Amino acid sequence: MCGIIGYIGKQNAVPMVSEGIRNLEYRGYDSCGIAVAGDYEIAVRKDVGYVDSVFSRFNVNGLSGNMAMAHTRWGTHGGITQDNAHPHASNDGSVVVIHNGIIENYQQLRRFLQEKGFRFYSQTDTEIIPNLIEYYSRSMPFAEAIKESLRQLEGSYAVVVMRKGSKELYAARKESPLVVGVADDGYFVASDIPAFLQHTKKVIYLHDMDFVKLDGKLEIFNLKTNLSVERKIDSIEWDLEAAKKGDFDHFMLKEISEQTESIAKAIEQDRQVIDEVSDAIKKAKGVYFVACGSSYHACKAAEYKFSSIAKRHVNIALASEFPSYKDFIIPESLVIAVSQSGETADVLAAVRAAKEKGAKVISIVNVMGSSLARESDKLVMMHAGPEICVLSTKTYTAQLAILTLIAYALGEKFEEGRAMLKEVIRYIFYLTSSNFREHIKTLAEKLRYTDHIYLIGRGLQYPTALEAALKIKEVSYIHAEGFAGGELKHGTIALIEHGTPCIVFVSKNTEKEIISNAMELKARGAYIVGIGPEPNEVFDFFIKVREAEEANSICQIIPVQILAYQLALLRGKDPDHPRNLAKSVTVK
């Protein structure tokens, strides 16, 4: 979940990695640091805080060298302190490392090193890596010492390694993302493409157990076999502007506003790809959707769509819990994994559990070359473009659009589904307009000081309530919970008191029952916010979203995305960097 970047080449590496790590700050922003290789020393600067603040404090721009690496941290082991910030150095200062991932056997390795006389100055699992390398380098060549150290690690890692006095940069990955950027004047290695997109669109997606040596040329080895391997160079379709805020104050608002474009791209799928997915579902003996977070909510919505449109049942599972169900999986099963990044650790674990049982895997993902994309039998690309804000907005609705399209194809109504979604895109222009945002801001001003918000929906609106609650609590830190309309009174209604905000999602199919539920809440003093096609006397505040039937899940979430954004601003929170969160959840 951390951001890492390294550069070696003909240019001054400091601005290269400084710019790059700023572009990766969405992956973690507890602390950050940089290491710059000089002729005889490696200069390390690191501290708690955002990149601009820390790098300014240490006058990082005053450093120079042709090889450097930088890191921005999402803490797992140890608190948010300067000692725990990356890079980490070995005891003798000869080896410097940055790392993303979890070393599961770090306590055992730490004890081993302590017995050998090594001291530790942080609480991190990462610090064992440079010290292991120092230890093994006493008896073998440096590159072999790195390989041997990595072979000792259990868990996941993406690492970049520098050695004092050396002109070589090393990197490796296992179950944690790492890509190589190939530029005219040098090489980059990073945890995500936006780190070097302003310098090159040529990228090599590394595989698990790849070990990279960069020293003016590129060499890749397999850590298990120690043999040289070839990896092809791909070209990125994104342009630099897609990964910038442009005229928007925050990436979150930019990405909310881009949903007309991202949904349009999502539904312009190759008909053959969608038909092949549909056929695979028809032939399978058991279909399982696996996902986490917002992607799970998209799959939950798809469960309703597959039932109503295609008259077919599918199973929906949280990826983190899926291994507990693996005994149901047979070779004829189909697993459909949904992930924005394609690097979500729990999703990958679920896919691997399914493949162990012989099941086929289809993935819906936004990142070409990601681990999930490579491990799947078939791939459906979302084409949403880079999503930099930690919160999922445009990728969530892109997932919904693709899942809706698959449901229509499964029901032999593909063109009808695509036509309906194209019509909906026109309405989304209004839902993301400045006038609509101002209306939502009025509601945000009413709710900014509340401690709890409850959200209810029935049928297809139930997953929308779940996702809407997630959006609010992720970025505003207001406690929010989503419920099926009929469930709130089975206990939770005891928490409703005078003025408690309750958001009610309404559609023509659920109107009578959900309005009855809203009245039950109103009778206990709740402040009722209605989102739907028509006003009702029970609503204290109304947000009009026209009836879109199977696309209600797309249209009705957009007002709450905007509400969450406005609440964050009013409460003084940074919507692009919510506390304790990171964009790509690469640890279990």
Q: How many CB atoms lie within 10 A of CB 521?
A: 23
Contact 333, 438 (CB under 8 A): no
Q: How many CB atoms lie within 10 A of CB 286?
A: 15
Which stretch of 72-81, 299-308, 338-347, 397-406 has the lowest confidence by average pLDDT? 72-81
Mean pLDDT for the stretch of residues 391-410? 96
On average, the pLDDT of the chain sits at 93
pLDDT tier at 587, thresholds 50, 70, 90: low
Contact 190, 201 (CB under 8 A): no
pLDDT tier at 236, thresholds 50, 70, 90: confident
Tokens of 206: 């590394």
pLDDT attached to residue 239: 63
CA distances from 478 to 344, 440, 571 (A): 26, 17, 10
* Residues β-bridged to residue 180: 189, 204
Tokens of 500: 């408690």
State yes or no: pLDDT of 240 exceeds 80.
no
The angle subtended at Cα 428 by Cα 426 and Cα 430, nearest 5°, is 90
State yes or no: pLDDT of 459 exceeds 80.
yes
State the architecture of 434-588 in CATH terms: 3-Layer(aba) Sandwich (3.40)
DSSP annotation of 170 reads E
What DSSP letter does each residue of 451-467 carry, written as one string?
Answer: SEEEEEE-TTHHHHHHH
Q: How many CB atoms lie within 10 A of CB 449?
A: 9
Please state which of the four CATH numbers 3.40.50.300, 3.90.25.10, 3.40.50.2300, 3.60.20.10 is assigned to the domain occupying 3-243.
3.60.20.10
Burial class for 575, CB neighbours closer than 10 Å (0-12, 13-18, 19+) = buried
What DSSP letter does each residue of 35-79 carry, written as one string?
Answer: EEE-SS-EEEEEEES-HHHHHHHTTGGG---SEEEEEEE--SSS-
Fold classified for 246-432? Rossmann fold (3.40.50)
Q: What is the pTM of this model?
A: 0.80
Give the CA diameter of the chain. 80
pLDDT attached to residue 323: 84
pLDDT attached to residue 188: 97
Which stretch of 76-85, 225-234, 540-549 has the lowest confidence by average pLDDT? 76-85
Q: Which sign does the torsion angle of CA 220, 225, 227, 231 carry?
A: negative
Mean pLDDT for the stretch of residues 277-283? 96
CA-CA distance, 572 to 392, in Å (whole number)?
A: 20
Mean pLDDT for the stretch of residues 518-531? 96
pLDDT attached to residue 241: 58
DSSP annotation of 311 reads -
Enumerate the active-site residues. 2, 583
Contact 47, 57 (CB under 8 A): yes
Specify the domain boundaries for CATH 3.40.50.10490 within the chain: 246-432, 434-588
pLDDT attached to residue 432: 93
